[in-house]
Structure 1
Amino acid sequence: MYAFTYHKPTSARQAATLLSKKEDAKLIAGGHTLLPTMKQRLAAPTALIDLGACADLKGIARKGRTIVIGAMTTHAEVAASPEVQEAIPALAYLAGHIGDPHVRHRGTIGGSVANNDPAADYPSALLALGAMVVTNKRKLSPEEFFTGLYETALEEGEIVTRVIFPVVSKAGYAKFRNPASRYAMVGVFVAKRGPEVRVAVTGAGANGVFRWAEAEAALKARFAPKSLDGLKHGAEGINGDMHADPDYRAHLIGVMAKQAVAQAVGK
């Protein structure tokens, strides 16, 4: 690890100011991605800006038909939140199955979203629920925000401040997790809001999180696990690695989708 200066602002505004003034500075939330790469000397920021003391980036609130979650809210806090459990139980379930207790008590929703790991859980929830990512400069839909593997639309000096989730009528999440890392080898989040149905897949796409249009059409006709019987996702555009080849991941998409719908309808 190379030498760096450490800053701990107490507000998002202070953090943004530091980020604009410090050359080669990096924001740190939970630190699960940045710190290991720094230890391996794969990243060498000259300054670290710790968002841990920014109170305005924390908290969960129900506002009308939405749930607003501050970027520095931990996975454990999302999982345990009565507001989330009541309004979007599938989101609480997702957060409660990220990593292990150590990860859930340090990792944050903003850090996960900003990192956009292709095997992370939250991107599928944002895409399926039609959430809005709010930064210190603008609001972005998931389609605008997630741009590729580990890539987002965040610009220089831009900080994720909160995520706004619409409350939907039905939602469910299921993942086939790597037994060591607990990352999603394939995760599927389904959501029904009025006549609209969204099915988002994480862990499988060669270009990151994506929607499965064929499953959405089938579930729009009838929102039930049986609607996906016989429906298969092709292996084209699916990621392959040492853990699973594209064909196996494509098969898992269908399996996890049926499980997610079963959770959503309470079966």
Structure 2
Amino acid sequence: MTGSPPPPPPAPASPSPAPERASLLDGVRFAFGTLTVLPARITRWDRPAARTGMVCAPLAGLVVGLCAAALGTALVLLSAGPLLAAVATVAVPAALTRGLHLDGLADTADGLGSAKPAETALRIMKQSDIGPFGVITLLLVLLAQVAALYDLYAGGWAPGALAAVTAAVTARLAMTLAARSGVPAARPGGLGAAVAGVVPVPAAAALAVLTALAAAAAALPLGLPAAAQHAGAVLAGLAAAELLLRRCVRRLDGVTGDVFGAVEETAATCALVVLALG
């Protein structure tokens, strides 16, 4: 009597299916839910949703900028001085993000200013307190933003309002570029790891060009020089943010959520300064 035939070899395990492509609505919810305090229920927390969300980041900036411009414009039209309008315009983005990006700027300044190795610098950035580098950086950045907007509102509500919107969109666009492919995360957890490297480089570049063109078109009623200046402000803000990003990647071996906040505030400040030069 022959023995029973050997059992068939087990079927190879099928690879787990790739996550479905995120819809535009998923991306919008991700962008607003992570970058603002505006009510937005995040329905997905995966790489496809992060990719679409970071591409939608400038849209979140547009809404924040419009809110800031609305308050500044209202104060100017109510005969408030340009200084009060400037302070209010700077306060709105801070309120709509619970100061998250300003906190990231301060933490990044403390980490880079420590001149410590990457591991120690990251530990400094993760601490809840704020050091002297963070305090000085916050003070100078906020003063620069208020001073630039003061000059712009002194020329009327339109230059100040348009600058507020342009700076806010440029700031979030800088975060999109910081999330492009090839930029690594400095540590495995947190928002930085969730969005690092998710945006394809061609998409980020195309979005930068479209934003600069849109800024120029929005400023065209103020004249051709103003249109060119707004496009230049977008590009200058992105260039400044890129310099900081590269410095952080070299020093920290990648990006963190704090670095994204620092990149955002750097881009906004540079854009406002360029617009105030006119």
> Structure 1-normalised TM-score?
0.27
Flag the structure with more relative contact order, 1 or 2, with Cα contacts below 8 A and sequence separation at least 6.
2
> Structure 2-normalised TM-score?
0.26
Structure showing greater radius of gyration is 2
More strand per residue? 1
More helix per residue? 2
